[in-house]
Each structure stands twice: as C-alpha cells, then as structure tokens.
Amino acid sequence: MERCLSPLRRTHLTHFKDFSYAKKIERFAVAKKGIKGESWLGFYPALGAVWGCSFIFIKLGLDFLTPFGVAFGRCALGAATLLAWAKYKKIALPKSKKIWAHLWMVSLLLNVIPGVLFAIAETKVTSILAGIINAVTPLMTLIAIMVVTRDEKPKFYQILGIGIGFIGVLTVLGAWQGLGDNPLWAVLVLLGAVTCYGFSFPYSRRFVIPHKLQPESIAAAQVTTGAVTLLPFYLFDGIARDYYRPGPVFAMLALGVFGSGFAYIWNFKIMAIAGSAIASSVTYLTPLVAVAVGVIFLKESLFWYEPVGAAIVLFGAAIGQNRIKLGKS
C-alpha cells in the first residue's frame, strides 16, 4: 500500500536494482555497527505479510473512519513509530527547510495522495483487487523514469515489460467482459495511486537523495509531514461513525505502527544484510498475501482471471526490471 520514499514502500526505489538510491542505502546500512551476522530471514516474511495485509487493514479501517481518516491514522501512527525509533537510535532529523519542503512533496506522492486514493477505491472494490493493482507500482515507476529522464533511451526489455504488465492489468480486471462489479472510477483511482508512487522516484532521486540523509531520517520526516498535511482533513471529515469495534481498531493500529512504521525499518534491515535485490523481491510476495487474507478473512470473491492477471503483471515487472534475461536487451 503505501509506499514511503524511505521505503519506497511500497518502497519502491529498491524495485530497480540498477538505480543508485538502493545501492546507497545498502552501502550505508552495511556500514552501520552491529549489522554483521544478523539474519534477514525473519524480517522478509514479516515485511511481505505486513504490506500484503495493508489492503485488508484499509478495508477494515473504513468501518469507522473515512478515507481521510484512514490515511491520517496510518501516517500519524507510522510517524510516531519512526520518530520514536529515530530517537532511540539517536538519528537526527533533517535541519534544512529546503529538504523538509522536498520531503513534503515526496510525502504527497507516497503517503498522502495514495493513502487517500486507496481508501476511497476500497469503498467500492475488494482489498484483493487493490493489492493486485498495487503490484503495478514497479511498472509505473519505470514509466515515470522514462518520462522524466528523457535523455535515457528506453531499453527493449523495459518497453516489453510495460506492455506485458498492461496486458496483466486488463486480465486482472476481466476487461473482455467489462469491469464486472468494479466501477471504472474506482479502478482509475487505484491506478492514480500507483502512478503517484511511480513519479515519487525520479523526484526523490533528483531532490532528496543527493543530500545523503540517513534512510531512517528520511522515512521519519516524510511520514511526519504526511500526517501533518492530513490532520486538517481528519479534523474536518475523519470519523465515519462513533462506533469502534475491536477488529477495525486493531487493524488501523497494525496499518500505522507496522505498515507505515516498522515495515520501513525491516526493509532497511533486509537491504543491509541481504542486498537491494532481495529486498525488492518482496514485491512479488505482497499480492499473494493480499489475495490470501482477502479470501480467508473477508470472504471476498476471487475470480480465476485475477490471480492469472497478477502473475502476468509480476512477470512483466520482472522483465522490466531485467530480472528475467531475454538475451540481447
């Protein structure tokens, strides 16, 4: 779901192992004291589970919160978690107002707008569909980079990966029979959310990464600015009804504390111990978890073409990232 620069959740900077940001984080983390000898095997399934469950958490949170309330709740709880972690680790937050301004823009693209859009869409679509569409993020990031950095000529495998991913999206939606029970506007809202994720990368690479901030500092500052931005909307229209069932409340706590908090820390740990390639592969686990929990806990319907389309999307993403070699490309 939400993908934080840090993170680049969603994060998604690590989806492209040939880009320098993931490598910079990796080199930084490896240099940190005490990282040697640790195992990443515990963090990996935890990260995939938390991010995969984010969509069911959003759906449950909508039981008593509006989309603005869900987006604010996850950012506020995530910010509290990351700020506490930064204080515990004695990691300083950015001091430059200019950097804070850029991080605010990143928070709009990675936390605020997608957070609201995913919640709005999930008032009409299943958490399963939201989780599958979220898997399009690596392809949207690739498209964004190709659009913004026009001096870089697209490679054949990148164009092929995008094309296959597009076919996968149409398959997920069952386009040959219309959109079924999924309103077109809700599907477009989901695609709008992952498009925001995609364009956050080139912006971050240009305006944030050159400052060489510690990843935890970026994450804490970014999610905090997102929470502050959403606060007025929450105060105006954040509570859907004054009835709080334990399940939805615990879902929001998990979404914020883990999905927008500890998940970023775990992501950094995996990158430090196992490398950016392993860390980015959690993308392939997330939709599987989203489908499983949606079917098991919410009894959501799963049509045959949704997992098939998801597989095609992930296959396209793997090709676009050059994980699957196609000979000369």
Q: What is the average per-residue pLDDT within 202-222?
A: 90
Q: What is the pLDDT of residues 221-250, one digit of tens each?
A: 999 999 999 999 999 999 999 889 999 999
Grade residue 297 by pLDDT with cuts at 50, 70 and 90.
very high
- The backbone torsions φ and ψ at residue 179, rounded to the nearest 5 degrees and listed phi first, read -105, 10
Q: CA geometry: angle at 122 spanning 119 and 124, to 5°?
A: 135
Number of domains in the chain: 1
Structure tokens at 241: 């009804």
In a domain? residue 95? yes
Phi, psi for 25 (deg, rounded to 5) = -60, -40
Is residue 210 classed exposed, middle or buried when 0-12, 13-18 and 19+ CB atoms within 10 A define those classes?
Answer: exposed
pLDDT at 57 > cutoff 90? yes
**How far apart, in whole angstroms, are the C-alpha atoms of residue 220 and residue 243?**
31
Report whether pLDDT(24) > 70: no
Residue 301 · residue 144 · CB < 8 Å: no
* DSSP state for residue 36 in the 8-state scheme: T
Mean pLDDT for the stretch of residues 97-114:
96
Least confidently predicted of 60-64, 79-83, 150-154, 166-170: 150-154
Ramachandran angles phi, psi of 242, nearest 5°: -85, 60
- What confidence tier does 27 reach under pLDDT thresholds 50, 70, 90? low
| Token pair belonging to 87 | 């204080």
The pTM (predicted TM-score) of the whole model is 0.86
> Is the confidence at residue 271, as pLDDT, over 60?
yes
Residue 143 lies in a domain: no
Give the structural domain span for 70: 13-135+200-298
3-state secondary structure of 148: helix
